[in-house]
Chain A
Amino acid sequence: MFITFALITLLGALGMLLQKNVIMAGLCMVAAFFGVAGLFVLLANPVAAALQIIVYTGAILVLVLFVIMMLNSHEEEKAQAPHPIQRWASVVFVSALAFGAVKLVLGSSGVKSLAASGEAMPQAMTLQKLGFALFADHLLGFEVAGLLLLAAMIGAVALTKRNL
C-alpha cells in the first residue's frame, strides 16, 4: 500500500514538473495530493487526509486552475533559453534542502514512535483531538495564522478593487 501511494505521489509530482501544459501539470498535482492523502491514512491520520483533499484539491487547486483557464486557454508554455548557472544553482539548493528535510524527519520523535507496537501504539487521529491541538495547545499560533490570512485577504481585495 505504501509503495502504491508513494508512487502516485512521486509520479504526480514528477509529471507536474515535466508537463508543458499548465492544466495537465495542475492535474498531476491533484494526483500527487491524492497520494499524500493516502499516505496520511496509512499513518493513522484520516482527518489530515480528508482535510488535505478538502482544502488543497477541493478548493485551492480548483481556484488555481480556474485562474489559469481564465488567463490562457490552450497555449503551451514556450521554453526559455536555459541558463546553465541557474541549473547548477538549483541543483545545489535542492540537494541542500533535501538533505536538511531528511535529517529533520529522521531526527524527529515521530520516527521513533513508528517502531512502537501494541499498547504503546498511538491512537488514530480524530477531529476532536485535532480541535484540542489547535484550540488548546497551539491557540496563539492558530490565531496569528488566522489574523495573517485575514490581512492577506483584505490586501487582495484592496489591490483588485481600487475604487470601492
Chain B
Amino acid sequence: MDKLASMLHMTPAIFWMVAKVVIVFSAIMLLASVWTWVERRGSAMIQDRIGPNRAAIFGKIRLIGLSQLLADGIKFFFKEDLVPDDANKGLFWLAPFLAFVPALIGFAVIPFGKSFVSGGVTYHLSVLDPGNGMGLLYPMAIGGMAVYGVLLAAWSSNNKWSILGGMRASAAMVSYEIGMSLAVVSIFMTTGGYDPADVIKAQGHLPWAWNIVRQPLGFIVFFTCMYAETNRLPFDFAEGESEIVAGFNTEYGSMKFSLLALAEYSHLMTASALVATLFFGGWQVPFVQNPTVMLSVASFLLKMLFFAWVFVWVRWTLPRFRYDQLMHLGWKVMLPMSMVNLVFHAWRMSQGH
C-alpha cells in the first residue's frame, strides 16, 4: 500500500483516506443500483410473477435479468430532459442532488469492518475514523437533511400533486425523527458512548448480548421510523399513485428521476447499515471472538443486505397507510413506546445493572 501511495505522490494516510472514500461510496452506489433489480425481482417473486428477465447484452447474455440494470441506465441517459415551464429552474436542478448527496454521505461514519494494524499504523474501516466527536449524531443530522431533497423537488416542480406529496413526506419524516432519536439515545445511554465503534464494541460477539435482545422495544421503534425516514412503503407518502399521481417526482424524467430513485435506494442502504450497527453488533461475527478483517466485513455486509432485503420484503407485503393512521402511529404509538424504552433503561441503569 505504501508503494502504491508513493507512486501516486501521496502520503499513505491520504491514500488510505481517498481509497476508503472511493470504495465506500462506489460500493453504496453499486448496491443501490443492484437493489433496484432486487426490488423488481423480489416483487415479482412475492407476487408470483416472473419479473424483468428479457433484457440481454448482444441478445445473448441475460444474467437472470441483471442486464436490465444496464438497459435502464442507458434508457435514462437518452431520455429527453424535460423541465416544466413554470418550474423554478435552479431548484428543479438542485433538488435531485440535495436528495442524493445526504443519502450517500450518511454512511461515512459507520464502520464496515474490524480495524486492523499494519506496519505499526492502525487502519479503521470507516470513512470518518472513530473518535471524530460526531459519532452517531452525524448520520442523524445528515438524515434530517434528506427532507430537503423531497421538499424542494416537490416545490420547484410547481405542481399541486407534487407539493402535496412533498408536504406529506416532510411532515412524516419530521414526526418520526423524534421517536427514532429517542430510541438511539437509549442506546447511547446503555453503551456509555455515542461513537459507532463504541456501540459495536459494547455489544460483543455473543448474539444474546446485542442490543436487539437488550432493547427489543427500541429496535421496533427505530426500524419502523426508518421506513418513514427513507420514504419506503408502508410510509411512502411522497408518492401515492391513486391519490397524487407520482407525488414529488411527477415532473421528473431522465437522469434526474434516476438520481431521485438512486437516492431512495442509497438511503435504504444507509438505513440498513445503521440498523445492523445499532442493534445487531455491526461487524461482529456471532460466536467468533477475534474474526479476521475479511470475515468481519462479510458479516457486516450480510447483516446490512439482509435488512435491505427486509425493506423490499415489507414494501411488497404491506399496503400503504392512510395519512391520519401514519400520524397516529407516529405520535401516539412510536413516541410513547420509545419514551417508555428510554425511561425503563434509565431506571435500570440507576438500579446499577
> B residues engaging A (CB < 8 A)?
86, 88, 91, 132-135, 137-138, 140-145, 147-148, 151-152, 155, 158, 163, 166-167, 170-171, 173-174, 177, 181, 188, 193-194
Contact in complex: A58, B147 (CB < 8 Å)? yes
Whole-angstrom distance between the alpha carbons of A27 and B88 in the complex?
A: 13
Contact in complex: B155, A54 (CB < 8 Å)? no
Chain-B contact segment, one of A8-16, A119-127, A136-144: A119-127
Q: A69-B163, A74-B158, A127-B188 in contact; A50/B170 too (CB < 8 A)?
A: no
Contact in complex: B138, A50 (CB < 8 Å)? yes
Whole-angstrom distance between the alpha carbons of A66 and B132 in the complex?
A: 33
Contact in complex: B171, A66 (CB < 8 Å)? yes
Whole-angstrom distance between the alpha carbons of A21 and B88 in the complex?
A: 11
Whole-angstrom distance between the alpha carbons of A137 and B145 in the complex?
A: 32
Please tell me if A59 contacts chain B, counting CB pairs below 8 Å: yes
Number of residues in A with C-beta < 8 Å to the partner?
29
Please tell me if A23 contacts chain B, counting CB pairs below 8 Å: yes
Q: A46-B132, A62-B147, A62-B174 in contact; A54/B141 too (CB < 8 A)?
A: yes
Whole-angstrom distance between the alpha carbons of A62 and B170 in the complex?
A: 8
Q: A46-B133, A70-B167, A126-B133 in contact; A57/B138 too (CB < 8 A)?
A: no
Whole-angstrom distance between the alpha carbons of A50 and B151 in the complex?
A: 21
- Enumerate A100-126 residues with CB–CB distance to B below 8 Å: 124-126
- Enumerate A45-63 residues with CB–CB distance to B below 8 Å: 45-47, 49-51, 53-54, 57-59, 62-63
Q: B142: nearest residue on chain A (CB-CB)? A: A53
Q: A60: nearest residue on chain B (CB-CB)? A: B174
Most buried by A among B133, B144, B151, B152: B133
Q: B192: nearest residue on chain A (CB-CB)? A: A128
Residues of A within 8 A of B138 (CB): 50
Whole-angstrom distance between the alpha carbons of A47 and B193 in the complex?
A: 13
Known A-B contacts: A46-B133, A46-B137, A128-B193. Give 4 more (CB < 8 A): A50-B140, A54-B144, A63-B174, A69-B166
Contact in complex: B148, A30 (CB < 8 Å)? yes
Please tell me if A65 contacts chain B, counting CB pairs below 8 Å: yes
Whole-angstrom distance between the alpha carbons of A62 and B264 in the complex?
A: 19
Contact in complex: A46, B134 (CB < 8 Å)? yes
Whole-angstrom distance between the alpha carbons of A23 and B166 in the complex?
A: 14
Whole-angstrom distance between the alpha carbons of A70 and B173 in the complex?
A: 17
Whole-angstrom distance between the alpha carbons of A92 and B132 in the complex?
A: 43
Whole-angstrom distance between the alpha carbons of A64 and B286 in the complex?
A: 46
Q: B139: nearest residue on chain A (CB-CB)? A: A50
Please tell me if A80 contacts chain B, counting CB pairs below 8 Å: no
9 residue pairs of the A-B complex, CB under 8 angstroms, read: A47-B134, A50-B138, A58-B144, A58-B145, A59-B174, A66-B151, A126-B194, A127-B137, A128-B193
B134 contact from A50, A66, A73, Cβ within 8 A: A50
Residues of B within 8 A of A54 (CB): 137, 140-141, 144, 181
Whole-angstrom distance between the alpha carbons of A69 and B148 in the complex?
A: 13
Residues of B within 8 A of A70 (CB): 167
